Amino acid sequence: MKMWQCSVSGCGEQPRLFALVVSPDGNRSERAVCQNHIERIGLPYVQAKDSGPNLDRSSFDWRFCAVVWAPEPQEFTLVLRNTRDASTIVIPTGYVEATWIYNIVNKVPYEQPTTHEFIANTIRSLAGTPVEAVVEGYDGKAQSFQCYLAIQIASALIKVKCRISDAVAITLVTDTPIRIIMPDISQLPFRR
């Protein structure tokens, strides 16, 4: 991502946010915006004080929407979009995780399989099928999501705990959905 000025026509200011955004139809676009044009990044972040998305047990099929970099202060976030009502959830992540996901979405070629491709290939080699990633809670003290990857092997459904960034990466590699079953949206660390 090499954008050193705001991508809003005629602006030219230094960007405050950089984003790789994936539309619901799968089109990718890279955006860079200055402080004056942050709303033009095109991501309607859900805030905890808002009514927010319906996160009951039927809240199925969330998909990756964007990875966002804010250089100062250094903040990296993943954005998931609900395919039913287009609401979004912002998930803080690290630089390395954001970069891996950026590379997966852009299909950056590597000589050997990436870690997430290796995991998906291993699951398939063992006659398993990745079914979905499930986010079932948030630990405020540890500031981490409680998440697992659901894998079908024969008639058994196996739940493997994982970090949410790894779950998102694996769902991108395997084209599987993300399900969020958290009962209390106020547990989430939303930010603009």
* Residue 158 falls inside a structural domain: yes
- What pLDDT, on a 0 to 100 scale, did the predictor assign at position 106? 93
Spatial CA neighbour of 160 closest among 121, 118, 123, 127: 123
Asked whether residue 2 carries a pLDDT value surpassing 80, the answer given is no
pLDDT in tens, 58-112: 466 888 999 998 887 788 989 888 888 777 788 889 999 999 999 999 999 999 9
Spatial CA neighbour of 191 closest among 56, 77, 72, 30: 77
Q: How many domains does the chain divide into?
A: 1
φ, ψ of residue 118 to 5 degrees: the values are: -60, -45
Q: Which CATH number belongs to the domain containing residue 100 in this structure?
A: 3.10.690.10
Q: What percent of the chain has a predicted confidence (pLDDT) above 70? A: 83
38 touches 16 (CB < 8 A): yes
How far apart are the C-alpha atoms of 146 and 52, rounded to whole Å?
Answer: 20
* Residue 5 falls inside a structural domain: no
SS3 186: helix
- What pLDDT, on a 0 to 100 scale, did the predictor assign at position 36? 84
* Residue 52 falls inside a structural domain: yes
93 touches 58 (CB < 8 A): no
133, amino acid identity: A
How far apart are the C-alpha atoms of 138 and 176, rounded to whole Å?
Answer: 22
How far apart are the C-alpha atoms of 91 and 43, rounded to whole Å?
Answer: 13
Q: How far is CA 131 from CA 20, 26, 81, 90, in A?
A: 26, 20, 18, 23
* Residue 28 falls inside a structural domain: no
* Residue 128 falls inside a structural domain: yes
